[in-house]
Structure 1
Amino acid sequence: MTARNLVFAIALAALLSACTSSQAQQRKRQGREAASVLDRLDTIGDPGRVVAADIAFARKARDEGQWTASREYAATGALLHGRDGTIPAASFLAELADPAEAVAWSPTAVWSSCDGTLAVSFGRFQDPEGLLGSYVTAWDLQSDRGYKWSYEMAAPDNPQPAPRTAPDIPEDAIIVPGMTAIDGRVADCARGGPIALPPEAELADNVKSRTRQSDDWTLQYRWEHHADGTRRVVVDWLRNGVWEQALDFTVPPDPASAPSPQGQ
């Protein structure tokens, strides 16, 4: 039985038994609570859908062109975070011709807010020359229930890992060395109670930054760009009623920085 059918059955049973049981009021309340859960099932965060969007994005880049895919999957106001700071993706990507071969990438971890309005993926990429690195991408839920990327930062490993012999893989697979099983997690839901305020960073005056929260305030990320060129992304999420750090991805200044999955 699916989760939706199970909740519907609980709600129906509670409402029917309320007419004949001495605990009518309690069961009516249980029925209302179950129905409320039923209404929320389609809005609770689903990391699997974010993973699917990230992988579909990578496959489209491979099949139809890197910049073509980047433009299609970019949310309104999307930012690319390169070694000189953040830039609007729309203007950067507008006139670019697709390269002969796209960067390949795949996520290894996804964190989603409870309501699914904001998620962050972290993963591995490999450029056409074989350079390996890591990336972080923020994903915004769209009106059609799909996801588009709204922020992205990536950097090559330094030093690069030793070469490995690749196993036989399906032709249409997206495989990046260093990739492991994908870990998908969802922040705790508020459940109608008060939510603890997310942490505030103490940053120097010369550090540029921006913080984004999900609509339900159960997940947030902050990007930073320091005066020396250091780039950083911190992801925090609500767990057991308190805020915990999910990711701290710091990239030291590197003038020879490689292109990221979205090209910066």
Structure 2
Amino acid sequence: MRRTFSAAIALAVGAALLAGCASGPRKPTSRQIARIERALSNAPGAAQPSTIIATEIAFARMARDEGQWTAFTHFAAEEGVLHGENGPIAAKPWLAQQSNPPKPVQWGPRTVWMSCDASLAISQGRFRDPEGKVGIFNTVWERQGDGTYRYLYDGGALDNPQPPPPPAGEEDEEVIVVTALDTVRGEVADCLGPGNPLPAAPFAPASTGAEIGGTRSGDGSLVWQWRQDAEGSRQFRSFIWQGGEWQEAASFDFGAEAGGAE
């Protein structure tokens, strides 16, 4: 059975973050984040996309308060990678050599896909860089032994072409964070009984010379893959098991000329 928590998540998150914002959008406070977590704690089943939304909020908040690369280091899994224009690189060794930029990238999730066993999740959303340019990102989250989530993969690209600038009065760098959360959608994979192997996910054949990586959830109900083609184009594909078949989840072609979110 397909389970979508978009209405519950949208109402709870939107109410918590947008209440009291008549004077303009602002970043969520610790009290608002606590309200979000309490409001969404009753979502059905062990797999709750709300946990990934809360993680994304904390991730973006740390980037604003403590520095972009400080946050990326804190939320990286030991084997986490960042998918830049020249291909994926190990996140923690690269981040250890970086200094925080004066202003961080701002972002907010739009959709979260989660495996039935909650071991793996994928978020996709929008970001804005310090110059005001916007784009899309994909992040793969893995549950750790302590129950927290850390990213295995993060990649993004700027829109090409860029959309027109926002109307006067909506240029605040946090608009993309707050307004994204009032429409966030959560999808959970169907749970599988023991002894029910799944067919292979329908990833397209790779081009000659392409590099490929990716994993699957512990129960196999969510799979993802990155590719770096020989000519430099980047791809991200993922599939979730719902309704007795593979459904396409987060997917995006970054293109050889696309700028990154980093």
Is TM-score (shorter-chain normalized) higher than 0.5? yes
| Superposed structure 1 runs of 4+ greater than 4 Å apart | 166-169, 171-174
Residue 81 (structure 1) shift? 0.6
Alignment of 1:1-264 (within 5 A): 44-165=46-167, 175-176=176-177, 179=180, 181-199=183-201, 201=203, 202-254=205-257, 257-260=258-261, 263=262
Q: What secondary structure is seen at the aligned counterpart in 1 of 2:249?
A: strand
Residue 243 (structure 1) shift? 1.3
Paired letter, 2:239: D
Q: What secondary structure is seen at the aligned counterpart in 1 of 2:57?
A: helix
Q: What secondary structure is seen at the aligned counterpart in 2 of 1:185?
A: strand
Which shifted more, 237-246 or 129-138? 237-246
CA distance in 1 between counterparts of 2:90 and 2:44 reads: 31
CA distance in 1 between counterparts of 2:45 and 2:96 reads: 33
Residue identity over aligned pairs, in percent, reads 36
CA distance in 1 between counterparts of 2:202 and 2:169 reads: 45
Paired letter, 2:54: A
Residue 238 (structure 1) shift? 0.5
Paired letter, 2:133: L
Paired letter, 1:217: G
TM-score normalized with structure 1 length:
0.76
Q: What secondary structure is seen at the aligned counterpart in 2 of 1:213?
A: coil
CA distance in 2 between counterparts of 1:223 and 1:168 reads: 34
Residue 227 (structure 1) shift? 0.8
Aligned residues: 218
Paired letter, 1:175: I
TM-score normalized with structure 2 length:
0.77
For 2:20, the equivalent position in structure 1 comes to none
Residue 42 (structure 1) shift? 9.9
Instruction: List per-residue Cα deviations over 1:6-59 (Å, max 9, x = no partner).
Output: xxxxxxxxxxxxxxxxxxxxxxxxxxxxxxxxxxx9983211101110111001
Q: Is the 8 A contact 1:127 1:259 kept in 2?
A: no
CA distance in 2 between counterparts of 1:215 and 1:80 reads: 22
Instruction: List per-residue Cα deviations over 1:54-111 (Å, max 9, x = no partner).
Output: 1110010000000111111101110011111111001110021111110000000000
Q: Is the 8 A contact 1:106 1:174 kept in 2?
A: no
Residue 205 (structure 1) shift? 3.1
Paired letter, 2:240: W
For 1:6, the equivalent position in structure 2 comes to none
Q: Is the 8 A contact 1:43 1:115 kept in 2?
A: no
Q: Larger Rg: 1 or 2? A: 1
For 1:35, the equivalent position in structure 2 comes to none
Q: Is the 8 A contact 1:237 1:245 kept in 2?
A: yes
Q: Which runs of 5+ in 1 are unaligned?
A: 1-40
